[in-house]
Chains A and B, each alone.
Chain A
Amino acid sequence: NAGVTQTPKFRVLKTGQSMTLLCAQDMNHEYMYWYRQDPGMGLRLIHYSVGEGTTAKGEVPDGYNVSRLKKQNFLLGLESAAPSQTSVYFCASAETLNTGELFFGEGSRLTVL
């Protein structure tokens, strides 16, 4: 039982390049979330999904796209990376928020030059 796994853990991109962050969970959770955290700041919600095939926008969705084709995977895409997207990205999942606990991955550190 690996919990929530994010890949890659580190990545350096040039401005304009594209990439996809993968979040995989093996807990059969319905809910999945992508957050970003900038230095000295709290987490900001980018996009989230309350079930397979569904996605919704969070607080800071611009410049990102997501897909939830399989229940266990939640992909975060950057079509044209910008330096402002340099951040640490956290994925999280929950069976339901009624139980309170959101399980987080270890984070993916992305640098855009």
Chain B
Amino acid sequence: DAKTTQPTSMDCAEGRAANLPCNHSTISGNEYVYWYRQIHSQGPQYIIHGLKNNETNEMASLIITEDRKSSTLILPHATLRDTAVYYCIVRVTYNTDKLIFGTGTRLQVFP
């Protein structure tokens, strides 16, 4: 299964863009990249996903490099409520269909 690597923690000033990187150098051609976040000890919350094109929704943007070996989640205007652990995940679909979480990046948004 493809693995993801993320920085352990990051800080961001409120109102600024938060750019969270993720490395997935062993990703296969048909494997999607997903982003979830977990606030405190709640269940994770879906943010966005993509295959090879950049994606945008009301929460965030996802930029995937052309070689698909890495991606960046962008929160355009971070707020204090965006403080959470952000997980970059590769969806494994070969003979299965599952999301394998890594250890995530703890994003701290400060005033």
Name A's B-contacting residues (CB within 8 A). 4, 31, 33, 35, 41-45, 48, 50, 56, 58-59, 88, 90, 92, 96-97, 100-102, 104-107
Contact = CB atoms under 8 A, between A and B. Distances in A.
Contacts of A106: 42-43
Interface of B: 32, 34, 36, 41-46, 48-49, 85, 87, 91, 93, 96-104
B43 A50 contact: no
A89 to B, nearest CB: 11
Given A97-B97, A100-B34, A43 B44 contact: yes
A10 to B, nearest CB: 12
A35 B46 contact: no
Contacts, number: 58
A92 B87 CA distance: 16
Contact of A41 (B45, B96, B103): B103
A31 B24 CA distance: 25
19 contacts: A35-B101, A41-B103, A44-B101, A45-B100, A56-B96, A58-B98, A59-B100, A92-B43, A97-B91, A97-B93, A100-B49, A102-B36, A102-B46, A104-B42, A104-B43, A104-B44, A104-B45, A105-B43, A107-B42
